[in-house]
Structure 1
Amino acid sequence: MGHGHHHHYLPEAPPKPWFPWLVPLIFLANTALFVYTMYLNDCPNSSSPPVHCLFTHHLHRFSFEPLSQNPLLGPRVDALRKMGALDTDLILEKHQGWRLVSCIFLHAGLIHLLLNMFSLLVTGVRLEREFGFLRIGLVYVLSGFGGSLASVMRMKGSAQHQVSVGASGALFGLLGSMLSELLINWSIYTNKKK
């Protein structure tokens, strides 16, 4: 079989990029959950006394709470709590630990959602293409979970009753992994040049 040895001089094919489906799925899930939260919130029919909901004319039961209630164009706190927002009391006293994860997929308002989803698509798609869905999914959920835990620790001491939502922890995780990937690759590139 001596004639086969010449083939290893051929350059290796670059690794095939992964097809990103998880990040778009997270995007869709976050967006769908926000729409559902607004549906549950049902501003025109649930506020007593009635408040002046925003864009009721076009959005009907999906209309936003007044800006004085929620400056981010979104639902009331109790709608978010129903959907699984991070509520320290419910986690510590009612043992609803699942809220540490469910809150990652909820958003306080349209502005919050748009900002987070923009950064998710910009960083997430690129990372998933490079590293595949499994690693990115793990980073996303674990960072989000870590962010939630940090929030609980921070809120535990505070007197006022707060609720926290959002994928920011998860997104910081993705940004962090992107940064570390750049740094690691940088050192590989510079070593190759020598």
Structure 2
Amino acid sequence: MADVEPGTVGKRQAGGGAYYFETAEAEERSWRSWLVPFFLVACVAVFLAEMYVNNCPSHPHPLGSCTARFLHRFSFQPVHENPLLGPSSSTLTKMGALEWNRVVHQNQGWRLLSCIWLHAGLIHLLANMLSLLFVGIRLEQQFGFVRIGIIYILSGFGGAVLSALLLRNTISVGASGALFGLLGSMLSELIINWTIYSNRIAAILTLLIIIVINLGIGLFPHVDNFAHIGGFLSGFLLGFVLLIRPQFGWMERHDLPPSAQVTSKYKVYQYVLWVVALLLLLAGFVVGLVMLFRGVNGNDHCRWCHYLNCVPTSGWSCEN
């Protein structure tokens, strides 16, 4: 984000919608983004490793021949097997895909993190990486790599936990949960720093529309909407904790007369939201992990939750 002189009004994008803030208060520092590009390079490198391990031409395929055979070892599985242009399910499982049985009964809890870096195909990878660049770079420039890195990893982890609790018969891969966490953090950052923004209603409506559209896409088959929801909720709570900004007037308090000086760095509502979000976040992770490693089936406690992941229609089935 370009530097702006103190006292001027800056412009910021949130999910495609512009909104404005008083830069003298909100713009503490502009960071150089390097962590988000690193995440992108890491995901691309892992995908190349997936395709190398997959080695499609070396295995017989009853559903047809490999796609893009000119890529030799890096060619894709038959389209009828993987329409996203990627490896087989067995390769994804070998590389660290999220699978409930292996996490709970084979002590492979590391899959809750490894699945964030895997992608089911080239189309899946491109969609997620474009979203990561669009959302992540701006957030890192505003808040720095530490806070955005924490939100990205913990949101992906939170999405994986919810997915494992509610999906038992499929594998899950992808950075979607982490990306939804970044979207969730943008929303909570708007709310907790409400007083320093103008045009705030338009900004929050724009962001909500983007989130609802993406969650709506998750209602189609073969998309893990539980990872989206878990990542969004994690990121939403983390945004209250990590993306809080000082209230208007705090940074200039020494230049103001005593009667106009601000005595508290944050407003009361910001402290309240910070505490409530932190407690809900800790409780959510603890309860979720305890339920998961005890082998609890989340569907037994929420019999309608499967409709959040896929809505059956006459056009498609939600069965695996």
Q: TM-score range by the shorter chain?
A: 0.7 to 0.9
Q: Which residue of 2 aligns with 1:6?
A: none
- Mapping of 1:150-165 within 5 angstroms? 150-156=162-168, 161-165=169-173
> Which deviates the most, 12-21 or 100-109?
12-21
Give the TM-score normalised by structure 2.
0.52
Q: Which residue of 2 aligns with 1:92?
A: 104
Q: Which residue of 2 aligns with 1:26?
A: 39
User: 1:126-180 CA distances to partner (integer Å, 9 max, x unpaired)?
Assistant: 0000111111111011110010001101113xxxx31100111100000111122
Q: Which residue of 1 aligns with 2:74?
A: 62
Distance in 2, Cα, partners of 1:87 & 1:46: 23
Contact 1:123 1:178 in 2 (8 A): no
> Which deviates the most, 46-55 or 79-88?
46-55
Give unpaired runs (5+ residues) of structure 1: 1-9
- Mapping of 1:1-194 within 5 angstroms? 15-47=28-60, 51-57=64-70, 59-156=71-168, 161-190=169-198
Partner amino acid, structure 1, of 2:185: S
Q: Secondary structure at the match of 2:78?
A: coil
User: 1:57-101 CA distances to partner (integer Å, 9 max, x unpaired)?
Assistant: 2x1110111111001111000111111000111101101000000
Q: Secondary structure at the match of 1:111?
A: helix
Task: State the superposition RMSD in angstroms.
Answer: 2.1
Distance in 2, Cα, partners of 1:189 & 1:85: 41
Give the TM-score normalised by structure 1.
0.85
Contact 1:74 1:110 in 2 (8 A): yes
Partner amino acid, structure 2, of 1:33: V
Partner amino acid, structure 2, of 1:81: T
Partner amino acid, structure 1, of 2:46: L
> Which deviates the most, 112-121 or 38-47?
38-47
Contact 1:44 1:50 in 2 (8 A): no
Q: Secondary structure at the match of 1:32?
A: helix
Contact 1:141 1:170 in 2 (8 A): yes
Give unpaired runs (5+ residues) of structure 2: 1-5, 8-23, 199-246, 249-320
Partner amino acid, structure 2, of 1:35: L
Contact 1:144 1:173 in 2 (8 A): yes
Q: Which residue of 2 aligns with 1:5?
A: none
Distance in 2, Cα, partners of 1:32 & 1:182: 34
Distance in 2, Cα, partners of 1:136 & 1:76: 32
**How much does 1:182 deviate?**
2.9
Distance in 2, Cα, partners of 1:55 & 1:108: 16
